Structure 1
């Protein structure tokens, strides 16, 4: 069982520091940017022990899974592309999804899997296998929520199809102007919902009735974005009823499932269970302080008494994160700063340096609270405790933040800075929320 342990930096507790960033709810996390960030920094599959659940449309049909790519009987040039990308054997999601996606007759699929599990490679392989290069029209449509995510998917297809020069790819993204007098001859089109809808209806570059595979990626991000959900449904309505439908989502919330059931008839469903984030291996402490300068002193003292592999320090606002990073640098500590006003490529570069160990300490806002796994992180500091818009404890964000340490069964430490009666109340709310924490 985990215990919050008190370490008194000072005995005086004053009122909470006002929000210094002018951002009442802290640094917002954009789902599409978070997804792109994960794609940019993941160069290999995440090692996991996740269990896969398969719910088949036809429960009487035998359930197939594969342990090697050779078992899929792919075209030799496509198999060469897979191995050239460094995929030696299928991931957990690929073992179960690929036989369903490549089956004859075609089967529809709804799949849940997190970033780094190989799902983009799985549906890219399915599209490349599906295409008949002799047919000079678009046969596969892949819809992504943003043009950056569409480009990332396209890069995977281009790499995997490196030895299949006869298969052509087009990007239906903003700024990509096509000759509107002739229909596309590219076999695979990847793009955003609005542009793909225009290419199918307004400009008639694509005959939607000839599409035989439709992939909808990042469905949870898609339905969270204004207009994308309805545009995706409109595209779906244009397609032939015999078109194979594949939908992928990182989460299976009610809104996602309602959307999926609306666009994917008679689906097979695959769930890749997320390993439960546990507090069992994380020792948690709080430090009583007077104000932000007192919190800073307590933070510097941590360096003197702990051997830190790598540390992540969370602040509520961009302004506070900037102040703290500058203050630590002045004290001679090597620190990287990560916050929401940075371009997503800049954030990816910072995280890449942190993952490679070139930066030991990362000061950040909630933009880095979930989905970033760095095995060497041994300490997480909540310089500001996570709160929701009403000022109550944000328990989910707390779990995601301290879950950056204690990864992969290792032991970790989480230190919470308490600077007021209000933040002491937040600590108590967090204790009450997590039943496994003793009081």
Structure 2
């Protein structure tokens, strides 16, 4: 009997061991679970000429910004699948390779073609989904809607699949259908609890509907089952730290930072490391809480090693937080100049919103709150283009609110807050009281 993946797609291997390890490895990847790399290596060892575990292993390398290893395995997968692979497998390898190489427009086009032909190829379908997916980092202003619509188009092919429910539910949540999104995601989570992406997606729904206490309990109850080496371990605790800040509990947020988010403690991929650290420390400072300067300097030193040059706009914005908070005007100016050059050359997908946020953060750090607010006001509707999730992007709106307050524009700040309170009724005013000093 021919080997197949869990979704019924043929696999070009005659090795039961290779096919079994590959199926297991893909499930672990789709769940954000530990053991993914090791399991894929077992598949490779069982059948070195089987291309698919090589490209999947390349994707794991890419998660951790191991670019040379990722590109090397992608190149090998291309060679292998050309010799022994179906049309579906060749398209699968090519699509993932384009994503690994950072060729976003080509990767998106290839993904959509592939999914049209093989909608149950879950690993390819996963590429544009999530806060760090191809759609989110494409510069699209409607990437939340695009993810939701893509999931709706293929939903008939997945039924009650635990992975698909997780991702389609999260897409609903981010697209504004929070109640339905939470219900769908929780259904997927109940089907497969060893699924960090599901726990994460449920936390996003709870963030949006104001279930802060329930989110805190979920993390406390579930996180002991998830190894600290898990790709989302630190980020899930970051969500818990945001919940602490909702209640003005800076001490708990800093405790979580020390435990799992600071560079010396985290095992997160580089992008999670810099974004979780910078955004939490910035929020703490913006809300009026004391953040030891040593924490900023330590995190900034690690971030500079990981992202020394301008590249991904979402990363650049967080690098701007580090530069602004540490008063490193030279670093801020250098990265801003590189971004403006890319914008002038038409190579900045997110567009003018990126340099605008840079300038606003610099003004905020200089305590020029009026300029910060004036710079952000016209681009708030474009912040979505930097990617990430709504919970992550809300940091920019937070900065705007605090800048309005500190520049005496209390009525405008109240209007923004009222809109948020309507969306998230559990929001506590305590943090804004601290922010105004």
| Greater strand content | 1
| Greater helix content | 2
TM-score by length of 1: 0.34
Larger Rg, first or second structure (1 or 2)? 1
